[in-house]
Structure 1
Amino acid sequence: MPQDSTLSAAQVLPKLRFRHLQLLELLGRTRNLRIAAEQMHVTQPAATKILSDLEALFGAPLFERLPREMRPTDLGLLSVRYATTTLSNLGKFSNEFATLKNGGYGHLTVGFIPASAAQLVTAAIKELQRRRPRLIIRLVEQSSDQLATWLEERRLDVMIGRPTEPRHQALFHVVDLLAEPARVVAGRHHPLLKRRRMEIADLGEWPWILYPQGTAMRLLFEETFAATGLLPPVGIVETPSIFTTLELLQATDMISLQPQAAMDKYVKHGLLGYLDVPIRRTMSNYSVLTRKEDTISQAAEEFVAIVLGIAAQCLPEARSLSLAPPPSAVR
């Protein structure tokens, strides 16, 4: 198929249709033309014709026709990414338009990492709900790497977490919030709570509950164990869920490295206890992230302002965190 080096937006956009974007998004997910056609409620020959028209419009093949799949080319991956983002934005626009038309106050989707950040988000949502009682708020709890992907894909309006790749600094506005001190925690019945002043090397024989690979807390755990010169323990359960971790700590002799801010209330109420083990390494601050190329909604802007204000109160010496968000954080 001949390449058209002079292809311009003025040539493509008037001919680009919703069904083109829909097929691209479906093929990107399913890699199967028959399944994509079924989900579009068209015949497979009709889907083939849509794809052929699209490739003719772009002047380049977008998918390799393999025996068992439709594999996107580099240009196909770019096209799928654009289609996914555009359809997501269109769906968001449609929902917000309908909500505002019916007297509502729109939507806000916030992604956040578990533990310490959850407390900050909870406090910010409480204040935002007081100011905007009819705002529909969707909360998504996940690890930073997944949240960053969703923020890039515009599935989130705001993220509370950490950048996980160097390119995120170019994609997102990143404003540091708070540090996240970590402690080793166990159920109140655990025999190690009777011991005074242990080292991390003394805990190698005990089973652990850990955050998944790639998370900041897991990296802290691995660095802490590596500093002892010992291999990490063998008995491991991986979960990002605070609630699952709490149940396991109370029901077993497992121990876990957790953010202190998230565990303090459970220790205070006698459900858990801190082991007297020094953690000499620290994690980077978690942050509030928004997309650089977007102008965010008033609700998202207000949420960011509230988050920064609460963080400033939690850390008074951090004068750089003002009560109002800096323009670079929300533009």
Structure 2
Amino acid sequence: MTASVAEFLQRRLKVRHLRLILTLHDARSISGAAERLCISQAAVSKARAEIEDLLGMPLFNRNVGRWEPTAMGQQLIGAARRIMAELDCLNSEFRLIKDGLLGTVTVGTRTTALLPFIAQSTAAFKQLYPHVTISLVDGPLSRLLEQMKKGEVDLVVAPLGEARDSAGFANIVLRRERHVVIASPNHEFVGRDGVTWAQAVQQPWCMPPVGTRTRSHLHSFLARKALPFPSNLVEANSLLMMIALMQETPLLTLVPMGIVPQLKRQELARLLPLPVDGARDPVHLVWQDGLPLPPATRLFRDFLLAQIRRSAKNGDAPANGAADAMTRSGASDRRRASTGKRLAVLE
């Protein structure tokens, strides 16, 4: 490290410098960064040039109208994110001491299987901590993980099987869910004994689009039984729409077992005794690795893990060994942090 770089990092680097560098990286343009920071474009350009002059090397290169970080810029951006996360965590700790526990935890979901669990856990958590806001958002897993990298999402509940790049994230398997067949409440198969898969594939079905895991499970299962995929088909990419369709016309569909009790209680669907063999989808709880979690986020994460351990004791176990792993991970993260921090698309 040269003397000028060392002096800048140790004596002259300001939080506003880090905030500007991060904003310029996320916006990829001077105008976008200026708008987000509520300052002029000239001020953004001047501050960027000032930082680069002090370092003696460029942090960004302009490429087809976009500002892309150099190798040095990428290093500074990564360090800036860690520093800002530490400061956010410290701020949360101060608020915790001063005002009692409060804050906002943003949880991204990409799972149908654990929606009832998430809803029940959120309701129970709010009874204990009414001043903590739980924000539940859904979306594609790749987008949720990218938002987590930017600090816009705190936790993600989703299967990681579709993630191309999960590096930098810690995760624990919450549960492995099997799939079952459900029918509209007025379907002719309800209450009938001896229904076979050969009969079922001749019925009207409602399924998510091609490319989703549920659709792939049914394709693979029927192929192993040398049966055709249903040709009388309605496609819907949301569970809410599928259930609404099932109230209007007799349909069959494949869903994770975890949502069936709620559908039965509300008399929206009936479970059929049709066996569905195949691998169970693991659903993960994900958070950023190596960064301290804010107090409210850490508390909600540990609360979810405690709920899973409780359900495991009651016989609804998550993946083998997950309860022990959750205990170890939670304790380890608490030691690190003490020093510093609707219905989704049917998959």
Pairing of 1:1-331 with structure 2 (within 5 A): 11-73=8-70, 75-77=72-74, 79-80=76-77, 82-83=79-80, 86-87=83-84, 90=87, 94=91, 97-98=94-95, 101-142=98-139, 144-164=141-161, 165=163, 168=166, 171-189=168-186, 196-199=195-198, 202=201, 208-210=206-208, 213=211, 216-221=213-218, 223-224=220-221, 227=224, 237=235, 239=237, 241-251=238-248, 255-274=252-271, 277-296=274-293, 297=295, 299-300=299-300, 302-315=302-315, 320=321, 322=323, 325-330=326-331, 331=333
Once the two structures are aligned, what percentage of the paired residues are identical?
20
Asked whether the 8 Å contact 1:128–1:306 carries over to 2, the reply is no
Aligned pair in 2 of structure 1 residues 5, 323: CA closer, same or farther (>3 Å)? same
Distance 1:253 1:146, change over 3 A: farther
CA, structure 1 residues 209+120, in 2 after alignment: closer, same or farther (shift >3 Å)? Answer: same
Conservation of the 8 A alpha-carbon contact between 1:312 and 1:323? no
The alpha-carbon distance between structure 1 residues 208 and 61, as it changes in their structure 2 partners (threshold 3 A), is farther
Give 1:265's aligned amino acid.
Answer: Q
**Deviation string, structure 1 residues 138-194 (Cα, Å, up to 9, x no partner):** 3334454444444444444443333344763x6344333322111233433556768
Native 8 Å contact 1:188 1:271 kept in 2: yes
Query: 1:252 & 1:316 partners in 2: Cα distance?
Result: 33
SS in 1 for 2:156: strand
Distance 1:137 1:79, change over 3 A: same
Residue pair 2:173, 2:285 contacting (<8 A) in 1 also: yes
Residues 146, 257 of structure 1: CA spacing in aligned structure 2 closer, same or farther, 3 A cutoff? farther
Q: Secondary structure, in 3 states, of the residue corresponding to 1:175? A: strand
For this pair of structures, how many residues does the alignment match?
Answer: 324
In structure 1, C-alpha distance between the alignment counterparts of 2:91 and 2:100, rounded to whole Å: 14
SS, match of residue 185 in structure 1: strand
Normalised to the residue count of structure 2, the TM-score between the two structures is 0.70
**Residue 9 of structure 1: how far off its partner (Å):** 6.4
Separation of aligned partners in 1, 2:10 and 2:97: 28
SS at match of 2:299: helix
- Partner SS, residue 285 of structure 1: strand
Distance 1:225 1:198, change over 3 A: closer
2: CA distance between counterparts of 1:152 and 1:207? 39
Secondary structure (helix, strand or coil) at the match of 1:36 reads helix
Q: 1:40 to 1:290 in 2, by over 3 A?
A: closer
Amino acid at match of 2:201: D
Contact kept? 1:159, 1:288, Cα under 8 Å: yes
Give the distance between the partners of 1:115 and 1:174, measured in 2 at CA: 18
C-alpha deviation, 1:274, in angstroms: 4.2
Q: Could you say what the CA RMSD is over the residues aligned between the two structures, in angstroms?
A: 4.2
- In 1, the alpha carbon distance for the partners of 2:65 and 2:291 equals 38
Change (3 A) 1:10 1:128: farther
8 Å CA contact 1:21–1:83 kept in 2: the answer is: yes
- CA change 1:35–1:232 in 2 (3 A) is farther
Unaligned runs of 5+ in 1: none
Normalised by the size of structure 1, how large is the TM-score? 0.73
Distance 1:34 1:118, change over 3 A: same
Deviations 1:31-89 (A, max 9, x none): 22123223323332222122222333444433332453334445545544554565566
List runs of 5+ in structure 2 lacking aligned partners: 334-347
Task: Give the structure, 1 or 2, with the largest relative contact order (CA under 8 Å, sep 6 or more).
Answer: 2
Q: By how many angstroms is 1:322 displaced?
A: 4.8
- Give the distance between the partners of 2:284 and 2:261, measured in 1 at CA: 21
Change (3 A) 1:251 1:85: farther
In the alignment, the residues of structure 1 paired with residue 250 and residue 56 of structure 2 have an alpha-carbon distance, to the nearest angstrom, of: 63
